[in-house]
């Protein structure tokens, strides 16, 4: 198993490098925790603060401060419930959506460049293995996102 762990660690360094490079272009706009909130809301749809805090494994007050900063930056909408002001629904603004899409496009291009150097069979095996790994790690899937990142081989 040690060799398998080492292989996954090596691959994760490559993916983290791609992620870091894509975020470098927006590091003056958002921090990594803020980016995580934007991606959560983008992939899962409207969320409340408790769900964001739970997903990030942070105190609700930390999640609230992060969301406040994103709201002030014009990237996140906070909609209070008319019935219970403690319940807040978070959605992305058009600017927040554009930011997530921009960074995702950069990541997709970098990943496609790496995948292009691999055989179709290797890409298919990698996609299947990463899907299994993500599911085992509890990472949910968005069918459209998975299809866009890993189109079927032709």
Alpha helices in 25-93 (DSSP H): 32-44, 49-56, 60-72
Residue 37 forms part of a structural domain: yes
Residue 70 forms part of a structural domain: yes
| 90-142 confidence digits (pLDDT tens) | 999 999 999 999 999 999 999 999 999 999 999 999 999 999 998 888 876 55
**Per-residue confidence (pLDDT) for residue 145, from 0 to 100:** 43
**DSSP class of 87:** -
Residue 137 forms part of a structural domain: no
| 69-96 confidence digits (pLDDT tens) | 999 999 999 988 777 666 789 999 999 9
Q: Which two tokens stand for residue 40?
A: 């959560």
Residue 9 forms part of a structural domain: yes
What is the rounded CA–CA span in Å between residue 75 and residue 94?
A: 7
**Per-residue confidence (pLDDT) for residue 114, from 0 to 100:** 95
Length of the chain, please?
154
Please tell me the pTM assigned to this model: 0.76
The CATH number given to whatever domain includes residue 103 is 1.10.10.10
In whole angstroms, how far apart are CA 10 and each of 7, 96, 150? 5, 31, 21
Task: Name the percent of the chain lying above pLDDT 70.
Answer: 88
Residue 11 forms part of a structural domain: yes
The C-alpha angle with vertex 50 and arms to 45 and 56, in degrees rounded to 5, equals 80
Residue 138 forms part of a structural domain: no
**Per-residue confidence (pLDDT) for residue 141, from 0 to 100:** 58
Residues of the domain holding 112: 2-117
Mean pLDDT calculated for residue range 33-54:
92
Residue 67 forms part of a structural domain: yes
Number of domains observed in the structure of the chain? 1
**Per-residue confidence (pLDDT) for residue 34, from 0 to 100:** 93
Residue 132 forms part of a structural domain: no
The single residue listed with the structure tokens 């906070």 is: 78
In whole angstroms, how far apart are CA 59 and each of 16, 22, 51, 54, 89? 25, 27, 11, 8, 17
């Amino acid at each position: 198993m040690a060799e398998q762990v080492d292989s996954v660690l090596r691959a994760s360094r490559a993916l983290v490098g791609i992620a870091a490079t894509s975020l470098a272009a927006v590091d003056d706009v958002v921090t990594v925790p803020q980016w995580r909130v934007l991606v959560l809301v983008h992939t899962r749809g409207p969320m409340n603060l408790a769900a964001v805090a739970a997903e990030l494994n942070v105190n609700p007050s930390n999640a609230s401060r992060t969301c406040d900063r994103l709201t002030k930056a014009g990237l996140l909408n906070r909609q209070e419930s008319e019935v219970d002001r403690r319940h807040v629904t978070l959605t992305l603004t058009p600017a927040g959506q554009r930011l997530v899409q921009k960074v995702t496009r950069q990541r997709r291009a970098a990943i496609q460049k790496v995948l292009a150097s691999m055989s179709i069979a290797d890409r298919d095996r990698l996609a299947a293995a990463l899907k299994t790994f993500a599911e085992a790690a509890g990472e949910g899937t968005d069918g459209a996102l998975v299809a866009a990142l890993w189109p079927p081989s032709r």
